[in-house]
Amino acid sequence: MPITVLVLPVRSEELNKIAAEKLEEARASDQPEPLFIRPSAWRYSNAYAQNRKPSLTEAEQDGNVWRVCFSNHSSSNELEQALQLLQPQWVISTTPPNFASELSYVRRRYLSHTTQGHAQSSICFRTTSRGKEDYEYFIRGIPSRGQRSPRVVQIEETWVDHRTFGLSMGVNGYTISKHVINMMGKAIISEQRDAHFLKHVLHSELGKMLQGPSPCRESISNYLSEPNQGFKLENMDAVLVPLLNSKTWYLLVANFWKRRFEVLSPMGCTDELITQAQSIVCNFREDFHSAYPQLHSVKIKDMDITFHTISNSDNESDSGIFIMKALDLYDGEKHIFFNDSDAEGLREHLALYLLHHKYNEMPHRHVQGLVGP
């Protein structure tokens, strides 16, 4: 069965170049030739002017590229329907860079690989040349130490400044800042309205408190409570807690749906991490029970702990970028496994995701002239 590639709007000359390269690669390795599909804004608008909306299955061949009716103005529902009909094996997003990963079709089929047997992810997190230009322009503009560093991403009360964000997301060996981790958590929470799997990402400061001495217990219970959160955490399918161990990020998940705790670690599950995580889970159980003493739907004290390695990287500074994407992709059932080579593309991908987030209250002046509308 040929590999089908759905390409969202991109300049024709760039797409034809990609198509030629992929066809040559497939033929050289004796693999099935890929089928390239490109939305045609012109064809879509022309049909609309004639009061005839093209069928989801209509397409016209133009060299190596099949053109279909969807434009970059198509709704996500239309794209979802097209994907269900076309059943592509690959989905390449070009504008905006993160759009493909937001589609349910992509999430279900390709962004959830179990870690059993260290299954390798087939997802490429690299951005397009346009996205790479945006990213590099933003990184070059990082203010020097002592210079004013304006906010670049803000959703409600959570924000991060240009220098902190840029140094974290640059390919330079820096550990991801807790402020960037919390910004990612806020971005995910803000998109929960129509999600089929409800997850809540707690502030990384809670993780620090859970690692602390017993006097923090009452403060944590208050933090988790309904009056402080504004809703009952017990109604979530999962509660996610980012944790920092020295310079290494990992993730604790209270998976209420599957009734278990999960520890996701990009750097493997060492004896030290297992011991620390078990202590944190014990504290979380007690504090959550204190915050919700009448909880009957889930017996949190009976939930077991499972441990999962989610990357083959040995670079602790990349652990945060893998945890950021794990926060995004976590679906309560499967875990994606990241390759060491994914880190660079993920830094670009997630930087652009947050800068262009639909709820980002900051203008895109730091990438002005390079970022599309």
Task: Name beta bridge partners: 260.
Answer: 255, 304
Same domain for 147 and 87? Answer: no
Same domain for 174 and 232? Answer: yes
92, 113, 143 - which closes a domain: 92
- Cα–Cα distance between 35 and 68 in angstroms, integer? 12
Same domain for 282 and 158? Answer: yes
Domain of residue 147 covers 129-367
Report yes or no on 100 lying in a domain: no
Q: Can you give the CATH number for the domain in which 306 is found?
A: 3.40.395.10
For 113-168, the pLDDT digits (tens) are 433 433 433 455 555 666 778 888 899 999 999 999 999 999 999 999 999 999 99
Report yes or no on 285 lying in a domain: yes
Residues 6 or more apart from 29 whose CB is under 8 A from it? none
Residue type, 291: A
Answer whether 86's CB lies under 8 Å from 6's CB.
yes
Same domain for 51 and 143? Answer: no
Report yes or no on 110 lying in a domain: no
Report yes or no on 373 lying in a domain: no
Answer whether 304's CB lies under 8 Å from 162's CB.
no
**How much is the pLDDT for 342?**
87
Question: For residue 71, what is the DSSP state?
Answer: -
Residues of the chain below pLDDT 50: 1-10, 40-49, 52-54, 56-58, 66, 68-73, 93-98, 110-122, 368-373
77, 92, 107 - which closes a domain: 92
CA angle, 248 as apex, 244 and 252 as ends, to 5°?
Answer: 50
**How much is the pLDDT for 28?**
82
The CA distances from residue 49 to 45, 53, 54, 57, 78, in Å, are: 6, 9, 11, 19, 19
Same domain for 87 and 176? Answer: no
**How much is the pLDDT for 37?**
55
Three-state SS at 341: coil
**How much is the pLDDT for 98?**
46
**How much is the pLDDT for 365?**
61
Report yes or no on 153 lying in a domain: yes
- Cα–Cα distance between 60 and 58 in angstroms, integer? 7
Among 216, 332, 232, 225, residue whose Cα is nearest residue 283: 216
Q: Within the chain, where are the H helices?
A: 12-28, 41-49, 76-86, 104-109, 129-140, 162-169, 178-190, 204-210, 217-224, 226-229, 271-291, 319-329, 342-355
Same domain for 166 and 256? Answer: yes
Same domain for 267 and 330? Answer: yes
DSSP string over 250-296: EEEEEETTTTEEEEEETT---HHHHHHHHHHHHHHHHHHHHH-TT--
Same domain for 156 and 279? Answer: yes
**How much is the pLDDT for 241?**
97
Report yes or no on 122 lying in a domain: no
Q: How far apart are the first and last CA of the chain?
A: 38
- Cα–Cα distance between 327 and 257 in angstroms, integer? 16
**How much is the pLDDT for 238?**
94
Same domain for 166 and 305? Answer: yes
The domain tally of the chain equals 2
Report yes or no on 71 lying in a domain: yes
Phi-psi sector, 319: left (phi>0), alpha (psi -120 to 50), beta: alpha
43, 73, 92 - which closes a domain: 92
Answer whether 56's CB lies under 8 Å from 69's CB.
yes
Report yes or no on 253 lying in a domain: yes
Same domain for 305 and 358? Answer: yes
**How much is the pLDDT for 48?**
43
Same domain for 175 and 288? Answer: yes
Same domain for 40 and 179? Answer: no
**How much is the pLDDT for 280?**
94
Three-state SS at 130: helix
Among 155, 188, 153, residue whose Cα is nearest residue 324: 188
